[in-house]
Amino acid sequence: MSEEVREVTTDIARSEPQAGFRIWQCALCGFIYDEAEGLPSEGIAPGTRWEDVPDDWVCPECSVGKADFDMVEV
């Protein structure tokens, strides 16, 4: 495999969600919660599943609750 192909392949792998993790999007403002990344600034560790995010957690951008987030198909 050429170095150029290897770099492109690596970039694509980095942009795709990690296997088994899901992405959730706020229906109001579009904020993304990626289970693989978590939200360390909000005290949510990387790898935290959506169902394990506290029920009283709110979107850091618009303050809506978890019920207003939809899973994004990838």
Q: What is the DSSP letter of 43?
A: T
Could you tell me which residues are beta bridge partners of residue 69? Answer: 26
Domain containing 43 — which CATH number? 2.20.28.10
Question: Please, are residues 47 and 38 in contact by the beta-carbon 8 Å criterion?
Answer: yes
Q: What is the CA radius of gyration of the chain?
A: 15
Question: Coil, helix or strand for 14?
Answer: helix
pLDDT at 8: 40
Residue pointed to by tokens 């970039």: 11
pLDDT at 18: 59
Q: Quote the number of domains for the chain.
A: 1
Q: Which residues of the chain have pLDDT under 50?
A: 1-2, 4-15
Determine, yes or no, domain membership for 28: yes
Could you tell me which residues are beta bridge partners of residue 23? Answer: 34, 72
Query: How many of the other CB atoms lie within 10 Å of CB of 7?
Result: 10
pLDDT at 69: 98
pTM of the model: 0.72
Q: Which domain holds residue 38?
A: 23-63
